[in-house]
Structure 1
Amino acid sequence: MTSRSRGWVVGRIAGAPVLVTPSWFLGAVVLTLVFAPSVRTWFAPHMPTTGVLVVAFSFVLLLFASVFLHEVAHALVARRRGHQVTELALTLWGGHTAYTGAGARPLDGALVAVVGPLTNLVLAGAFWVAFQLQPTAGTVPAALLLAGAFSNAFVGFFNLLPGLPLDGGQILESIVWGATGSRSRGTLAAGWVGRAVAVAVLAWALLWPLLEGRRPSWVMVVWGALIGAFLWSGAGDAIKGAQARARVATLSARGLAVPAVAVPVATTVAGVSAAAARNPGVVVAVVGPAGEPVGWVDPAAVANVPAARADLTPVEAVVVPFPPGSAVTPDLEGDALLDRLARGSSGARVVPVVEGGRVTGVLDVARVAAALRR
């Protein structure tokens, strides 16, 4: 199960909890303090400090409300496409929407991603129209409407930049995935573009003022560095995830299975020893009357049976049962193999490999895990 973000549940949308995380409050305070000087300079030079902070906080709430609607749009489209939305969280960086099956189809990823920025662009248009209808441009409500228009336009266009972890990066990932048939290639492409975007954001904060003959603003440089670090980290995580998926794709039951020789459930320990001697390097599997897998023979248990009693000891004394329904087929690969083991192995160390109704090998789950780590 996917772990849920820490925070307070304030409602439910698309069947998922809406969470306000502790970091959101930190972001709200910091943004209020950052925007307060601009409010005083541009809109309310004679307003008391308390009033300035209230106006700045009102803008912050307006901004986060726009981000929240952005996330709601993601959630509604994800659910419409048949996915289960697990949470909508408001965080320091705005918010995120989590849903299962995010990598099911390229079109799903593109549609879920694009609807968020489009929501902000629609909101920007609505705020702009409302601002134009104001009788006086210099009032606080007019200023908030104008700020809402520009902030939503910025959030919308910025999120469409083609690099992960931005929505535009998910769109690019889906395009490359659909064109090549490889999600990992799409993620790698969008991840590296995301790193380029991160560098570009910091370069813009530093170089744009210099090109205009001005000194860079420390506020803009700090914000550029924070946003750039966030994008670089998110892009790096995406690249690591793509590399991990590429490793997963190389896993196959056929390649990791150990060959097995089957013996009937009526066999004695002596018969097991004889079968193992005739087939060195294989695992002895015990099968039922119809060839169904019953379990595998533990060599250490066989060695503990005295030679004089080997002909008299039934195989049940040395067999480790397979969990019911744990069999895998040799053609299972990648995510399908891992999913099958997660759902069917029931915590067992070894599961049978069955092909054409016959046990042909066994698969050690620990060996799969070791291959994945490599």
Structure 2
Amino acid sequence: MTNAPTPTRGLSLGRVFGGRVIVQPSTLLMLVLLAFLFATNGGGDLDRRTFTVGLVLALLLFASVLVHEIAHAAAARAFGRQVHEVVLTLWGGHTTFDARGMTPMVSGVTALAGPVANVLLAALGGLALASGALDITLFSLLAGDLTVAGIVRYLVYANLILAAFNALPGIPMDGGRVLEAIVWAVTGDRYRGVRIAAWAGRVIAIAVVLVVLGYPLAQGRSPQLFELLWAGLIFAILWPAASGALRTAEVLGRREGVTAGTLMVPAVPVRFNATVESARQQADAAGAQEVVVLTADGVPAGHFPVALTDAVPAEQWPSASMQSVTMPLPRGAAVPASLTGADLELALREWWGRTDVWTVAQDGRIVGVVRLGDVMKALQ
């Protein structure tokens, strides 16, 4: 992101790597749903005991998701990025950070950090189980229904599943962002990477549902409620996210072709003490349609269309100053000809209402004038 996002509403758990850790209220709904799914897995009865066990497992799953998101934050911070928020949501979580000047390396490594963190957690749990020191019954919890070893074993499986699922090469999974970064690095086109990863995400959404429902059918039985709910939940997460990324890539991809240079009107810089006749002559020689008036220190201070000088009687051109036709420009209302995409949109937001045009520079010299209204139309 280019600027700090609007703060997310929810329960604040403090800060990590400079960013707020937030739990959205909708997360509670997912905890209850997961507790129900875990409690009834395999067709078991739903009662106070099984639901409590399911709730404990759901909480541990969300704890693993939190570690996953914190790993994203740690990677972003390692690249010198400001971390804004780590948020647990209905569908899992997300991490926001300053994404200005993003590169394939930063994008790919930051995305990969989440699944790697889950693999490391699973490895640590596996080592602890191998030591044989965790076979302790938690009598204080559910009269011995859970053991330390059982909890750690579940965490190992849960983190391996989280890592494997997030490593799938399609948006919105982290593996999709890694695929996007690879295509971006190879082709130099970020939005081609997004489009490919988004289509891969759509394919994965369908494939996961087919696998979840096809497995019981291959065993000669009908899918259970647990499997149907999981298939629907996974599809409801993956398909809309991949489709949204695809639409965004198409829009932003078109915007990347819009630059200040392609929208500008050719202009010529003229010193403030020039006459109307001199300005017209210089504009005609350069084939310019606009004149940019410079101060004594060479800074743009105003502009006017060459056609506007037609309002000045021709006999007055040699002596008339340009004050009669010049429209003022605020200091700093200038952009490079190469400015494009999100950076062009940011500049538009900054200057909208303060000026109606920018001067356009290339290789340190003024080459044109671009109207902010034309920029807005091109970016829509």
Q: Report the TM-score, using the length of structure 2 for normalisation.
A: 0.82
1:26 corresponds to which residue? 29
Percent same amino acid at aligned positions? 36
SS at match of 2:267: strand
2:299, 2:153 → 1: CA distance?
72
Task: Identify if the C-alpha distance between structure 1 residues 155 and 94 changes in structure 2 by more than 3 Å, giving closer, same or farther.
Answer: same
Shift in alpha-carbon separation, 1:103–1:113, aligned structure 2, 3 A? farther
Q: Which amino acid aligns with 2:66?
A: F
Range 65-74 or range 144-153, more displaced:
144-153
Letter in 2 for 1:54: T
Write the deviation string for residues 168-199 of structure 1: whole angstroms up to 9, x where unpaired.
Answer: 11111122222222222221111111110001
CA distance in 2 between counterparts of 1:306 and 1:343 reads 35
**Contact kept in structure 1, 2:336 and 2:360, CA below 8 Å:** yes
**Conserved? CA contact 2:267–2:283, under 8 Å:** no
Tell me how far 1:270 sits from its aligned partner.
Answer: 9.3
Q: Which residue identity lines up with residue 195 of structure 1 in the other structure?
A: R
Give yes or no for contact 2:40–2:226 (8 Å, CA) kept in 1.
no
The Cα shift of 1:61 comes to: 1.1
Change (3 A) 1:111 1:275: closer
Does 1:149 pair with 2:143? no
Q: What is the aligned partner in structure 1 of residue 141 from structure 2?
A: none
Which range moved further: 91-100 or 258-267? 258-267
2:334 is paired with a residue whose SS is coil
Looking at structure 2, the residues matched to 276 and 177 of structure 1 have their Cα atoms a distance apart, in angstroms, of 42
CA contact (8 A) 1:285 1:297 kept: yes
The residue aligned with 1:250 is 257
Q: Partner residue of 1:115?
A: 113
1:84 corresponds to? 82
Structure 1 residues 323 and 122, CA gap change in structure 2 (3 angstroms): same
Partner of 1:50: 48
CA distance in 1, matches of 2:114, 2:170: 15
For 2:20, the aligned partner's letter is: P
Q: Distance in 2 between matches of 1:219 and 1:356?
A: 63
Does 1:163 find its partner at 2:156? Answer: no
Equivalences for 1:1-374 in 2 at 5 Å? Answer: 1=3, 2-38=5-41, 41=44, 49-101=47-99, 104-131=102-129, 133=132, 134-135=134-135, 139-141=145-147, 142-262=149-269, 264-266=271-273, 282-297=289-304, 315-316=322-323, 318-339=325-346, 347-355=354-362, 358-373=365-380
Distance in 1 (CA, whole Å) between partners of 2:66 and 2:221 is 36
Are the equivalent residues in 2 in contact too, given 1:283–1:362 (CA < 8 A)?
A: yes
Q: Is the 8 A contact 2:66 2:93 kept in 1?
A: yes
Letter in 2 for 1:186: G
Asked whether the equivalents of residues 265 and 370 of structure 2 are also in contact (C-alpha less than 8 Å), the reply is yes
**Farther-moved stretch of structure 1 (352-361 vs 82-91):** 352-361
CA separation of 1:67 and 1:173: change in aligned 2, threshold 3 A: same
Q: For 1:264-310, what per-residue CA distance to the aligned partner results, in whole angstroms no more than 9, with x for missing partners?
A: 4346789989999999982343333455321123899989x897xx8
Structure 1 residue 332: deviation in Å?
Answer: 3.9
Question: Which segments of 5 or more consecutive residues in structure 1 lack a partner in the other structure?
Answer: none
Q: Give the AA of the match of 2:265.
A: V
Contact persistence 1:292–1:358 (CA under 8 A):
no
2:81 maps to amino acid? H
- Cα 1:321–1:140 change in 2 (3 A) is same
Q: Distance in 2 between matches of 1:247 and 1:151?
A: 40
CA distance in structure 1 between the aligned counterparts of 2:72 and 2:286, rounded to whole angstroms: 57
Deviations 1:1-37 (A, max 9, x none): 3333222322000000001112111111222222223
> Cα distance, 1:351 vs. partner?
0.8
Q: Could you tell me whether the CA contact under 8 Å between 2:348 and 2:376 is conserved in 1? A: no
Tell me which amino acid in the other structure corresponds to 2:229.
Answer: V
Letter in 1 for 2:377: A
Change (3 A) 1:265 1:367: same
Distance 2:93 2:188 in 1: 30
Distance 2:338 2:202 in 1: 37
SS of equivalent residue, structure 1 residue 213: coil
Asked if the contact 2:41–2:226 (Cα under 8 Å) also holds between the matched residues in 1, the reply is no
Residue-by-residue CA offset, 1:50-105 (whole Å, 9 max, x unaligned): 33333222111111111101111111111001111110001111111111127622
TM-score (norm 1): 0.84
Q: Pairwise CA RMSD of aligned residues?
A: 3.5
The 8 Å contact of residues 184 and 246 in structure 1, kept in 2 or not, is answered as yes
Of the structure 1 ranges 20-29 and 9-18, higher mean CA displacement relative to structure 2 is found in: 20-29
Work out whether residues 323 and 345 of structure 1, in 8 Å CA contact, stay in contact via their aligned partners in 2. Answer: no
Number of residue-to-residue matches in the alignment: 367
Q: CA deviation at 1:123?
A: 2.0
Q: State how far apart, in whole Å, the 2-side matches of 1:6 and 1:185 are.
A: 34
* Structure 1 CA distance for aligned equivalents of residues 326 and 192 of structure 2: 45
* DSSP-derived class of the 1:140 partner: coil
